[in-house]
Chains A and B, each alone.
Chain A
Amino acid sequence: MSRAVRPGERRGYFGPYGGQFVPETLMAPLAELAAAWRKARRDPEFQREFRGYLRDLVGRPTPLYFARRLSAAIGGARIFLKREDLCHTGAHKINNSLGQILLARRMGKRRVIAETGAGQHGVATAAMAAAFEMECVIYMGRVDMERQALNVYRMREFGAEVVPVTAGQQTLKEAISEAMRDWVTNVRTTHYVLGTVFGAYPYPDLVRDFQSVIGREARRQCFKQAGRLPDRVVACVGGGSNAMGLFSGFLEDPGVALIGVEAGGRRIAPGEHAARFAGGKLGVLQGARTLVLQDEEGQILPTHSVSAGLDYAAVGPEHVWLRDQGRATYHFVTDEEAVNAFDGLCRLEGILPALESAHAVAYVLREGSKWKPEDVVIVNLSGRGDKDLQLVMDWKARHARSGEASSS
């Protein structure tokens, strides 16, 4: 399931990226978590339990759906959608939340905490905490609570306490810091369900492993439905967990291009986007050494994306390593392209994508005309977009107004 540590490579590192840059208080609990995970991973009973709940509670396998009209619209390449939006609670996040909560239960922890940006990870964690009878506290930036209000209600309905984070930019990054502060304080009783392939080791490995079910299913389904491997797999990248989950199924297939799509926001200028591969520098943030959007003083820059789930200043370290090795490429699309793709998928396929996933769709809409009609492309539809309807309506209203203003 997990990539073995190669000779000369330090555990927790992907080339020079990753590591464990956290306060000393967290080092022992991280070691405890890594040990528990290594043991659970080899335990057939744990794996059987995990697979059982993935099937019966999450609703896996999710379909790989041939998007006929989308394919026709872009000029022929055969586009398949990996329907993670059909997972219980509406996004791929639950694969990881379920896995970590089963692991926390084995470790004897009865309280879980999590950060959330778009709210999907918070909702998934709150739902699983309810199902496995755990106390649950979710940290969420106040700005994100406003733009994802529906998800806040869902979390509270599942019995979780949702704590607004008012520091800094009041989005995902601050929510992670606040969750880490809680963890550092309650480390003996609490497991921190980190939602993406980020943070200190073992999180990038652990989360990728729990999400790797996406790539394994997609590979098998692609053989069955298209008769061969895909030419490209495309996923949006915030922290990068849905992308790592999909990519991990194809790492050993050199003919499959791995394509990550970041949030280009309004434009590539400081504070206006979240495209780390376009504007980031090597640094250390929240436990990991990776590409970080920062100023020349090493202060973390504010970010912007129409999508709360991609609105983050750093990227999962394994992605940077995949880029360095030439194994994956990373691109960005703007807010406007993402909103257009959100509309496009609704109209063409009757599928409402999350704004995060709409970034991957937008890349396909933009680049697809360059591809060959016989090409097979898998797009990870990582979540559904009900949570984003209000936001998209507001965005359109604002842009219609500013459009009128600029033309008058």
Chain B
Amino acid sequence: MSRIATCFEELRRRGRRGFIAYLTAGDPSLEDTVDIALRLAEAGTDLIELGLAFSDPLADGRVNQASAERALAAGATLGRVEEAVRQIRARSEIPLVLYSYLNPLLARGFETTLHGIAAAGFDGVLPLDLPPEEAEAFQPAFTKAGLDRICLVAPTSTDDRVARIVRGAGGFVYCISRAGVTGAQDRLASDAAEVAARARRFTKLPIALGFGISTPDQAREAARLADAVVVGSALVQRFFEAGNDPARRSEAVRWAAALAEAAHGA
């Protein structure tokens, strides 16, 4: 069984909801990403999404855009992200998903690139701009590389679309809790329950709920609707503000632990 499947199986067995953390790989540096990822794993995070910085991240809000700009400036190429993942893998079995726009995955040939991603230790890829209509042509490469293709379900996805989306989906289904880009919100969107329930009707895969979740209370609330919650921008912002200050980074890790605890206890 894959690391992602094992992780959700274990959560299910223990009657727990999972906590997924998002980080932009290479913000502020890849060494920091390795350090933060390992500490998040120790702090109760169940799965980590590592974002590959892209010059034109049209699904991302301001926090993640700025984070991607910092990562690019710090030289976070795919090759160097893979190197960081090998370092994480040497010390942790936490499931890792690459969150990426399609173009950087195409630049050196899609199949070769996916093979490299899998070899580095990633378990899945979440392509932001690859809806099912287009994904069908790319699916054989995911299968061949042994990578789960994580699919997105949006509040605007109709039943027909959800049925089509989940046919090619692997790992878990990522439900977007509201129409919009990534970024913290004051409260959980009213769409969240509906989109999670709709996905549930069409798949047996675990359901993760994300976009806009930024406090332990929201994480608890979202976790009740799904199998796991994803926190991205809010975490990215915390680690950015902490910078290289060890005390403040530890504080950000403790805050992530509180999110994990909220999700686990939901």
Q: Does B197 contact A (CB under 8 A)?
A: no
Asked if A286 meets B102 with Cβ closer than 8 Å, knowing A25-B176, A297-B77, the reply is: no
Contacts of A298 in B (CB 8 A): 54, 103-108
Interface stretch of the complex, out of B28-36, B153-161, B245-253? B153-161
Whether B134 lies near A19 (C-beta < 8 A) is: yes
Pair A181/B131 contact, Cβ less than 8 Å:
no
- Tell me whether A297 and B154 are in contact in the complex, defined as CB-CB below 8 angstroms, given that A20-B134, A23-B58, A184-B59 are known contacts: no
Q: A299's contact among B55, B131, B134, B165, by CB below 8 Å, is which?
A: B55
Closest to A169 in B: B55
Question: Does B215 interact with chain A (Cβ within 8 Å)?
Answer: no
Q: Which of B158-208 contact A (CB under 8 A)?
A: 158, 161, 165, 176, 179-181
- 1/0 per residue, CB under 8 A from B, across A272-316: the answer is 000000000111111100001011111110000000000000000
Convert A178-203 into 0s and 1s, putting 1 for each residue whose CB lies closer than 8 angstroms to a CB of B: 00110011111000000000000000
Contact of B104 among A25, A184, A299 (CB under 8 A): A299
Chain B residue at minimum C-beta to C-beta distance from A281:
B107
Q: Determine whether A167 belongs to the interface, using a CB cutoff of 8 Å to chain B.
A: yes
The answer on a CB contact under 8 Å between A28 and B161 is: yes
Please, which residue of chain B has its CB at the minimum distance from the CB of A186? B179
Q: How far apart sit A181 and B57, CA to CA, in the bound complex (Å)?
A: 10
User: A25 near B103 (CB under 8 angstroms)?
Assistant: no
B152 touches A24 (CB 8 A): yes
Q: Does B128 contact A (CB under 8 A)?
A: yes
> How many A-B residue pairs lie within 8 Å, measured between CB atoms?
119
A173 touches B (CB below 8 Å): yes
**Distance in angstroms between the alpha carbons of A371 and B254 in the assembled complex:** 74
Within 8 Å of chain A (Cβ to Cβ): is B242?
Answer: no
Query: Given the complex, which residues of A lie within 8 Å of B165, measured CB to CB?
Result: 24
Report whether A177 and B179 are in contact in the complex, using a CB–CB cutoff of 8 Å. Answer: no
Pairwise interchain contact A25-B154, C-beta atoms closer than 8 A: yes
Main secondary structure on chain A at its contact with chain B? Answer: mixed
**Smallest CB separation, A110 vs chain B (Å):** 17
Q: How many residues of B contact A (CB 8 A)?
A: 40
B72 within 8 A of A: yes
Knowing A28-B156, A181-B61, the reply to whether A300 touches B181 (Cβ < 8 A) is: no
Least CB distance from B252 to A in Å reads 25
B103/A27 in contact, CB under 8 A: no
| Interchain CA distance A282-B108 in the complex, whole Å | 11
Complex: A21 Cα to B129 Cα, angstroms: 5
A22 at the interface (CB under 8 A from B): yes
Quick check: B55 and A284 within 8 Å, CB to CB? no
How far, in whole Å, are A345 and B31 apart by their CA atoms in the complex? 58
Among B61, B72, B107, B155, the one with the most A-chain Cβ atoms within 10 Å of its Cβ is B107
The residue that B157 contacts in the complex, of A19, A24, A283, A292, with Cβ under 8 A, is A24
Q: Is A373 an interface residue (CB 8 A)?
A: no
* A27 contacts across to B, CB distance below 8 A: 131, 133, 154, 156-157, 161
- Cβ of B130 within 8 Å of any chain A Cβ, yes or no, is yes
Docked CA distance A74–B155 (Å)? 59
Complex contact B131–A185 (CB within 8 A): no
Q: Is A227 an interface residue (CB 8 A)?
A: no
Tell me whether A297 and B152 are in contact in the complex, defined as CB-CB below 8 angstroms, given that A19-B134, A28-B158, A181-B58 are known contacts: no
Instruction: Tell me if B107 and A283 are in contact (CB < 8 A).
Output: yes
Min CB distance A79 to B, Å, is 38
The reply to whether A168 and B55 contact each other, CB–CB distance below 8 Å, is yes
Selected contact of A20 from candidates B58, B107, B133, B181, CB within 8 Å: B133
Chain B residues with Cβ below 8 Å from A270 are: none
A271 at the interface (CB under 8 A from B): no
Could you tell me if B102 and A181 are in contact, using CB atoms closer than 8 angstroms?
no
Query: Which residues of B line the A interface, CB within 8 A?
Result: 54-59, 61, 65, 69, 72, 77-78, 101-108, 128-131, 133-134, 151-158, 161, 165, 176, 179-181
**26 sampled A-B residue pairs with Cβ under 8 A:** A20-B133, A21-B102, A24-B131, A24-B151, A25-B157, A25-B180, A27-B131, A27-B154, A27-B156, A27-B161, A29-B156, A168-B56, A174-B56, A180-B58, A181-B181, A184-B181, A185-B181, A188-B179, A284-B129, A286-B58, A294-B107, A296-B107, A296-B108, A297-B77, A299-B54, A300-B55
